[in-house]
Chain A
Amino acid sequence: MTPAEILRFALRGLAANKLRSALTTLGILIGVASVIVLVAVGNGSSEAVKKSIQRLGADALTVTPSTTGSGRRGGGFFPGGGAAGPQQQQQTGPRTQAHDLTVADATALGSSGQAPSIKSASPVVTSQSVTASYAGTSATIGQFVGTTPTYFAAANKTLASGSLFSSGDGKTVVLGSTTASDLFGVVSPIGKKVDVGGIRFTVVGVLKATGSSSSSFSDPDSIAVAPLAAVQESLTGYGGLDQIIVQATGSDAVDAAQAEITALLAQRHGVGTTGTADFTVSSQASVQSAVSDSTRTFTVLLGAVAAISLLVGGIGITNIMLVTVTERTREIGIRKAIGAPRGAILAQFVVEATVLSLIGGLLGVAVGIAGTLFRIAGVQPVLVPSSIALALAVSVAIGLFFGGFPAGRAARLRPIEALRHE
């Protein structure tokens, strides 16, 4: 018996009962496809989060106030980022006095000679879901940001047309691409006037689209950026800042910049290096690692659910092979009577089971890959090549493992009893 012959016997056995073989295959197909798709969905959502964090720029740090008693806390400007970032400073123990982040803090960080690793520090106030109107059209802007011109470089925002406002400008605004198209359609917004919160802003520029608008997060292009003073006057009032976006001199200076910010602000806010700080500094790397930790958990969870369906498919194979063995007991008896060794019978049924699961696995890979081309629950799945190899290998292993028991039973049948079987 050559392997090719064993395979031929197995294929003949499967072809004898096509519907049953197809349904068994379906179980494995669904299992493999769901492993591939769900892992891809997990991976896709993690990629989406990473991308939205990367928009911050590799050399940017975010300083947010971490007081609970005083000062407004706007939502993190970087969705899922600033707010979810790990706390660099331990916040234990009672706080005696908490300070808001102030423009003076930003100025101190950006222009005092004490922080050589910091290129710029931009004070940021944000207002969420602001209604803007132009000539009877109104649109909701996701984020209305008041800041200084250094913000654009720090937050990785580039202009598509027009110009940035300069520090001395009054009521000027730079619109995000979504905001611009919501308000103006195809007309160029440059030089037009927009009313926001009772104040008329002149549009001076439009930002480039960031390209990746993941629907699981707010649209990063639904934004408007205006000088700090104008936004404070019209929308947020003159309270503390929501954030200070600090740009380090380079991506390798981020750690140094973080230390400098912590030291400088601790000194300005009157907390010693051992005391509890009233602010949080987070860098892209720290946010990213925290987020990727949570998305990994998510991916593992999805994978585990899919693995269960693969297991169920495997049990389906055992079941159907047991039925097959019972049904073909007589045939097994005949084969044994004419001299089939135990090994040949075992091999035939193991190969039958493995062929079933392999075909199911291959079709499952095809279906899985096709499935990842679609958006699922708002996430664009990103295929993980190793999940294909793993799912396929597991499906073959399932065939061997779950087929082995019925095959062993077939091989152990005694020829006279098997021949007598009706």
Chain B
Amino acid sequence: MTPVLDVRSVTKVYGSGDTAVHALRGVSLRVERGDYVAIMGASGSGKSTLMNIVGCLDVPSAGRYRLDGHDVGGLDERRLAILRNRRIGFVFQSFNLIPRMSAQANVELPLAYGGVRAAARRRRAVAALREVGLADRTRHEPNELSGGQQQRVAIARALVTAPTLLLADEPTGALDSRSTADVLHLFDGLNRAGRTLVIITHEADVAAHAQRIVRLVDGRIVEDRRVAGAVR
């Protein structure tokens, strides 16, 4: 079976010459289908850069990256956009919902860009919102929702396209402990249902939910271990 993620000796260099910053110094990572991986590291360790590359928001300076068997290197903007739309669901620390659009409209957005018809879109958006427990909040706009609710809308938006990979960047960083528990519980459920999750975090108790923890230091993977009996 093709791995969802297949990153091979990827490097990323910002700038050039004396001022060059090596954000990634050769990272290799395979993530199989159904896995739940936490990428940990202090700030400046290169985890955000890795997230951007894995999320097809940025391209590596060197090395290869296959997403679900597709070589991402050398794809143009348009193909990258399609890849992001179909195969990746993003969850951001700051939710990144579009203001003044209802929860449902926000969730429908990736489907709209994916060319799904309006009726199917509405059905799938409502289903995704039900999955995250917000069936009664479809008409609310982001500023009428609590942080935890906003993040759950964002998760519904990430799920609605049935992506191969759910990519979360510090998903609980802006949440209180109760909302954090809600969101993590949601992730656990999604993983049990067979979803592949990659979470970037610096919090050990968030990482504790994962089956596998990858630790980055100075742009290199220093630790990659399976956690058998994860907190469930």
Partners in one complex: yes
Binding site for B on A (CB under 8 A): 1, 5, 12, 16, 330-331, 333-342, 344, 415-416, 419
Contacts of B58 in A (CB 8 A): 416
Say if the beta carbon of B52 comes within 8 Å of chain A.
Answer: yes
Say if the beta carbon of B139 comes within 8 Å of chain A.
Answer: no
**Could you tell me if A342 and B78 are in contact, using CB atoms closer than 8 angstroms?**
yes
B125-160 contacts to A (CB < 8 Å):
157
B29-80 contacts to A (CB < 8 Å):
52, 55, 57-58, 77-78
**Could you tell me if A338 and B86 are in contact, using CB atoms closer than 8 angstroms?**
no
Contact flag A339-B101 (CB < 8 Å), given A1-B113, A334-B96? no
Q: Is the interface of A mostly helix, strand, loop or mixed?
A: helix
Contacts of B97 in A (CB 8 A): 334
Give complex CA distance A342, B81 in Å: 8
Give complex CA distance A416, B109 in Å: 19
| Chain B nearest Cβ from A239, distance in angstroms | 84
Q: A338-B90, A341-B77 are in contact. List 6 more A-B contacts (CB 8 A).
A: A334-B98, A336-B84, A337-B57, A339-B86, A339-B161, A419-B96
Give 19 pairs: A residue, B residue, CB < 8 Å, sorted on A.
A16-B99, A330-B96, A331-B98, A331-B99, A335-B98, A335-B109, A335-B113, A337-B55, A337-B96, A338-B110, A338-B113, A338-B157, A339-B83, A339-B85, A339-B86, A339-B161, A340-B85, A341-B78, A419-B92
| Chain B nearest Cβ from A410, distance in angstroms | 14
**Could you tell me if B77 and A342 are in contact, using CB atoms closer than 8 angstroms?**
yes
Contacts of B57 in A (CB 8 A): 337, 415-416, 419
**Could you tell me if B82 and A341 are in contact, using CB atoms closer than 8 angstroms?**
yes
| Chain A nearest Cβ from B196, distance in angstroms | 18
| Chain B nearest Cβ from A329, distance in angstroms | 12
Give complex CA distance A12, B84 in Å: 24
Give complex CA distance A340, B96 in Å: 15
- The chain A residue sitting closest to B58, CB to CB, is A416
Select one of B81, B98, B100 contacting A341, CB under 8 A: B81
Contacts of A12 in B (CB 8 A): 100-101
Say if the beta carbon of B115 comes within 8 Å of chain A.
Answer: yes
**Could you tell me if A339 and B78 are in contact, using CB atoms closer than 8 angstroms?**
no
Contacts of A338 in B (CB 8 A): 84-85, 90, 109-110, 113, 157
Select one of A5, A330, A339, A344 contacting B84, CB under 8 A: A339
| Chain B nearest Cβ from A339, distance in angstroms | 2
Say if the beta carbon of B181 comes within 8 Å of chain A.
Answer: no
